[in-house]
Amino acid sequence: MKDGIADGSGESDGQRTVTPHQPNANASPLSQDNVFDALASRRSRYVLTFLREADEPVDMEDLVETVATWETGKPIDLVSKEHCERVFTSLRHSQLPKLSMMGMVEYDEDDDVVVRGPHAEQVDAYLDIATSRDDNVEL
């Protein structure tokens, strides 16, 4: 999956390509329970919101800094290193694997990059509502 993460193919041809975010007609629908389960975590909502706005794979460091900033409502230089480390650990070991299993993200642990998965667009309407009610999210 290393280089195929950007195009969702899982194939590695040595070059990374980025595909536009278009709905995947072949993605089977998620159950409403899965959608609500994924969106129950504020960190997961922040991940999905940030990835939706990205035009290319997102570096894990950028993702951690954005999530930490949105969680605290402070600029990154005022967020403690310990908080950023907790966010990193939580994303790597909890949120990203869960979202990946649901097909909402694709996470390459070797390169530490994340992109939207084939099921991500299925939560966009719910994400719009959650994001509009969160004053910390700055897009």
Confidence (pTM) = 0.76
Residue that is written with structure tokens 């402070």 in the block = 74
**81, part of any domain:** yes
pLDDT tens figures, 62-76: 999 999 999 999 999
**120, part of any domain:** yes
Q: What range does the domain containing 79 cover?
A: 32-132
Residue 139 binned pLDDT confidence (cut-offs 50, 70, 90)? low
**9, part of any domain:** no
**93, part of any domain:** yes
CATH number of the domain encompassing residue 73: 1.10.10
CA distance linking residue 69 with residue 52, whole number of Å: 17
Domain total for the chain?
Answer: 1
**65, part of any domain:** yes
pLDDT tens figures, 16-44: 333 334 444 455 788 888 888 888 999 99
**36, part of any domain:** yes
